[in-house]
Amino acid sequence: MTAKPTRRGLIAATAAAGGLSGGASAAPASATAPLTIAAQGSYAAGGAVYDAPGTFDPHAFFSNTGGRNHGDHAYVRFQRPVKPRRLPLVLWHGGGQFMKTWESTPDGREGYDTLLLRRDWEVHLVDQPRRGGAGHANSTGAIETLRPIDKSLWHVFRLGVYPDFFPGGQFPQTPEAIDQYWRQRADDTGPEDQEVVVAGVSAVFDRIGRGVLITHSNSGKWGFVTAARNTHVRAVVSYEPGTIVVPEGYEPAPIDSADPMIQRITTPVVIPDAQFANLAKIPIQIVFGDNIPAAASPYAGLDFWRHVRARAYEFCALIRARGGDATVLELPKAGISGNTHFPFSDLNNVAVADELSAYLQSRKLDRYFEP
Amino acid sequence: MTAKPTRRGLIAATAAAGGLSGGASAAPASATAPLTIAAQGSYAAGGAVYDAPGTFDPHAFFSNTGGRNHGDHAYVRFQRPVKPRRLPLVLWHGGGQFMKTWESTPDGREGYDTLLLRRDWEVHLVDQPRRGGAGHANSTGAIETLRPIDKSLWHVFRLGVYPDFFPGGQFPQTPEAIDQYWRQRADDTGPEDQEVVVAGVSAVFDRIGRGVLITHSNSGKWGFVTAARNTHVRAVVSYEPGTIVVPEGYEPAPIDSADPMIQRITTPVVIPDAQFANLAKIPIQIVFGDNIPAAASPYAGLDFWRHVRARAYEFCALIRARGGDATVLELPKAGISGNTHFPFSDLNNVAVADELSAYLQSRKLDRYFEP
């Protein structure tokens, strides 16, 4: 059965899109100096091979037996500036998202992919296995069907209380930008499995060597798992990680919420103590935007963040107790206000990127190759 | 139920990937002059909005009623050179593929995305609705589960007879390249629907204005439908279109094959005569590679192409009968041999791109903006 969508008029869609890219005849929305790129491309990383039982029939158009499938890899696009800094940046999207997260903002400005390239970083954008360009799975069975949750995500992504925006918010409040924003999402083509997605992103680091991992939301916890396992990950900057990782045996602080989704999403991921210890060997920064409620909120999608932020501080205390370097940056405390759950694509994303640059510099992660 | 894949060792995966992108410390596989880019980015085009019945509950984390979903758009990435030619190129992947088709080749050389950018074309890469980065659907119901068809596609994509390659073939015959090649695929997240995918790509042209549409394989027929409906499409170059479009009332030549897949895939798409007439107003080139059997082949995946090619000539005759300009380029007849179903990413893809450049020049489609 197919749902009956309301198809938008093409004329309206065209008008809505006009400000973003007008083709060769229109100037780009954010006119800046040309980019100079030494190399760019894409690749698959990791993955598995599935061999079906039986004997392959080469004569059939599609053999019903003995076939093979290459799936469960990560898909990566990269760009390398002419004089790159030593450590590449690997950017991993959040739940229901793909690498579009880091590309053009909903209102067509430059995203982190291009902003960071301009700052001499080699950038690798990841689609996790079974999502987006990595949407070729080795799994069978039902996947998520149509889930109309855009209005609910309005709260979870902290635009405001639907359909209103928070006063002073940094989300571009035009119908066109809102439309583009909701179209950043991509459905899974198989179950979202920790071991599959961590293996895929870990394979990226095995390929490129040492680098800095930047995560967002749902990839936060898995980025920590990846860094705990793969020593090529030399630092983690995590934008609003949905939850944290803890060592075996640790009893996390109780969450004072009866909401089952909040309970579920904020449940920490448990990893072996020896792996957790690796997280104390690298710099870790966790970044939060604005409008996180200070006290209980009647909106579960907003109240969620109060608990997430508490978890983040709990995580940093655990790391620091092991002599590590884990800190929380609350952007409002740095004088940067109004940010949503996507600070890197908000209207002030250049200021947010400045905080990233400052952090990487403070940890001496931004060095160039020796001349 | 989840299939049990054979997980490849990370070390092997790393070694396999080594030649493609070594991170900042390794030279790119195809070292050439730096690229200079005026603008780059990504956007969604077209799509629909689904509104669920009932009243939205703003307090729930995910409201079970009254929700909304933005889906069924195309996803597009573009790059604009500093001095672009007047008409952008829009590149549309084939069946089971996504924009990776046009990116880095399986052995890590530059794909059409970068090769054409170097030739001063503004390039827009499309993921059709419900695929890859456009994998957010407004549809419900079952989608394709694990189909292990890589060995069968060895024939359909004309690498050779599995597991052998055709002698003198232009596919990069390394295990690493083969692995990357099969990981170019992406599963659908909803039914592949002509009206949905044509609307998505048509919205790209409504946004960018006049341009040239380049299709491959399964998008061939839909590219013709798009061009027949949207006058912004000023030319079509179609690499090995799976089948053709014909006007209402036309009886296509019978296919002398009992294979149900060949019968099904080569069945022409029927469009109104007035729309078909529009195809006689623009230049159309259909390009075929090598190793298409001259006589019946016992391998259905190869024999398929004999019928496809015959259909292409049938289509061009129909267009020319209406005074149009539709031609077939068989690369071997131009002295370019060994090409697979993916000529634009084969080892000789620069020579194949030269044919594209020559064609666009011959039709005066490659002009720059007036100074």
Specify the 3-state DSSP secondary structure of A182: helix
Task: Average the pLDDT over A334-348 and give the result.
Answer: 98
Residue in chain A nearest B124 by alpha carbon = A23
Please tell me which of the candidates A35, A161, A188 has its beta carbon nearest to residue B37: A35
Burial of B298 (0-12, 13-18, 19+ CB in 10 A): exposed
Task: Average the pLDDT over B121-143 and give the result.
Answer: 92
Please tell me which of the candidates B2, B203, B299 has its beta carbon nearest to residue A58: B299
Cα A141 versus chain centre, distance? 26
Tell me the pLDDT tens digit for each residue of B171-225.
999 999 999 999 999 999 999 999 999 999 999 999 999 999 999 999 999 999 9
CB contact under 8 A, A21 and B3: no
- Coarse DSSP helix, strand, coil percentages of chain B, rounded to the nearest 5 percent: 35, 20, 45
> How many Å lie between the alpha carbon of B323 and the closest alpha carbon of chain A?
30
State residue A317 phi and psi, 5-degree precision: -65, -40
B33 belongs to a structural domain: no
State the best of B36, B61, B136 to mutate against chain A, taking most chain A CBs within 10 Å: B61
B29 belongs to a structural domain: no
- Coarse DSSP helix, strand, coil percentages of chain A, rounded to the nearest 5 percent: 35, 20, 45
CB contact under 8 A, A132 and B135: yes
For position A142, what pLDDT does the model report?
64
A3 belongs to a structural domain: no
Give CA–CA dist B282/A52, Å, rounded: 46
Q: A44 versus A21: which is more confidently predicted?
A: A44
Give CA–CA dist A233/A208, Å, rounded: 10
Range of the domain at A177: 40-362
Q: How many angstroms separate the Cα of B305 from the Cα of each of A202, A273, A317, B215, B317?
A: 40, 58, 64, 17, 18
The domain tally of chain A equals: 1
Give CA–CA dist A332/A323, Å, rounded: 27
State residue B251 phi and psi, 5-degree precision: -100, 110
Give CA–CA dist B78/B40, Å, rounded: 5
A310 belongs to a structural domain: yes
* Strand ranges for chain A from DSSP E: 6-7, 35-45, 48-51, 68-71, 74-81, 89-92, 123-127, 211-216, 233-239, 245-247, 269-271, 283-288, 325-330
A19 belongs to a structural domain: no
* Strand ranges for chain B from DSSP E: 6-7, 35-45, 48-51, 68-71, 74-81, 89-92, 123-127, 211-216, 233-239, 245-247, 269-271, 283-288, 325-330
Tell me the pLDDT tens digit for each residue of A33-48.
999 999 999 999 999 9
Give CA–CA dist B347/B354, Å, rounded: 13
A108 belongs to a structural domain: yes
Give CA–CA dist B338/B158, Å, rounded: 10
Q: What amino acid occupies position B90?
A: V
A15 belongs to a structural domain: no
Question: What's the CATH number where A187 sits?
Answer: 3.40.50.1820
Q: A98 versus B256: which is more confidently predicted?
A: A98
Task: Average the pLDDT over B328-344 and give the result.
Answer: 98
Res. A12 pLDDT band, cuts 50 70 90: very low
Give CA–CA dist A229/A245, Å, rounded: 12
Give CA–CA dist B244/B238, Å, rounded: 10
Query: Which residues of chain A lie closer than 8 angstroms to B3, CB-CB?
Result: 50, 138-140
Indicate whether B20 pLDDT > 60.
no
B350 belongs to a structural domain: yes
Give CA–CA dist A281/A103, Å, rounded: 31
For position A144, what pLDDT does the model report?
67
ipTM confidence score: 0.92
Contact A156, A301 (CB under 8 A): yes
